[in-house]
Amino acid sequence: MSNDPPPPGQPPEDDPFLKKPQEPPPTEGSPHGSAQEPPPEPPQGPPSGSPYGDPYGSPHGSPYGSQPGGGQPPPYDPNAFGGGPYGGTDPLAGMPPLAPFGKRFVARVVDALIVFIPLAILSVFVGGWSTSSASTGGWNDFTNQVNTGRQWLWSVISIIAYVGYDTLMMRKTGQTLGKRWMKLRVAMLNNGTVPDTGASVLRAAVLWLPALICCLVLWWVIIIVTILASRPYRQGLHDKAARTVVVSAAQ
C-alpha cells in the first residue's frame, strides 16, 4: 500500500475521509419530512332529537314529519322537570300533540262497533246471546247478558275478542282501526315507542275487563272522567296502568 497523499483536484469517489454517510430517507411524522397530517376530528355524538322522532324504530323516519324550521326538539332527559320523562320546563316538550278527547271518543266507538257487530251476528247463529230478551228488554238487557255473566261462555268469548283486538293492534302499530281512521296513535310515555306485548295486554285488560264483567256504563264514565281530568298527559286509567299516552299521528 502506498503512503503517498492523493493527487490534488477532485477527490476520488472511494475516498473514505471525504465521503459522507447517506442519511436515511425521511419518515412520515419526522420533523425533516413532509408536513404532519392534522389529527382526526373526534367522533360526533348521536344527534339529539325527540324520543317520538322514530316511534316505529324503522329507517323510514318519523311519521310526524320534520319539526318547523328544520330544528329538532331537545333530547330526552329523564332527570329534568323533577324526574319527568321530558327535558326542559315543559313536560310536553318533544312530544307530538296530544290527541283531542273528541277524536279519542270517536275512535273508541268505532273500535267497539268493529268487535261488537261480528259478535252480535255470530250470536244469532250459535245462540250466544238471548235474542228474545234483547228484543223485549232493549239494548240494556242485550248488553247486561254479557256484563252479568248470564251466559258465561259467551262472556268469555266477548272478553277474548275485545281484549285480543286491542292487544294485537296496539302491539303491531300502536293504532287500532278507529285510531288509524282518526289519525291517532298510542305510544309509551317514556320514549314514544309502540307499546310492547306486556303494556298492550295490560292496557286492553284495564280498559275492557271491568266494562264486560260488571259495570259497562259506570266504567266508561270513569274512563272518560280520568282522561278529562288527567294533567298534563290526558291519561285514562288504562293509560296510567300501561304508562302510555295517546298522541296525534297526522303528517
C-alpha cell at 84: 319527568
Contact 99, 175 (CB under 8 A): no
Among 82, 109, 105, CA closest to 236? 105
Beta carbons within 8 Å of 35's beta carbon, 6+ residues apart: none
DSSP state, 69? G
The pLDDT tens digits of the residues spanning 217-251 come to 999 999 999 999 999 999 999 999 999 999 999 75
> Does a structural domain hold residue 191?
yes
> Does a structural domain hold residue 43?
no
Per the DSSP assignment, residues forming a β-bridge with 93 are none
Separation CA 246–CA 189 (nearest Å): 9
What range defines the domain where residue 155 resides? Answer: 101-248
Q: pTM of the full predicted structure?
A: 0.60
> Does a structural domain hold residue 188?
yes
The pLDDT tens digits of the residues spanning 8-61 come to 555 555 555 454 555 555 555 545 544 555 666 655 554 555 666 654 444 444
The H or E element that residue 241 is part of is helix 237-242
> Does a structural domain hold residue 124?
yes
For 19-33, 62-76, 105-119, 191-205, which range has the lowest pLDDT when averaged over its residues? 62-76
How many residues are given for the chain? Answer: 251
Number of domains forming the structure of the chain: 1
> Does a structural domain hold residue 202?
yes
> Does a structural domain hold residue 139?
yes
> Does a structural domain hold residue 76?
no
Contact 51, 239 (CB under 8 A): no
> Does a structural domain hold residue 117?
yes
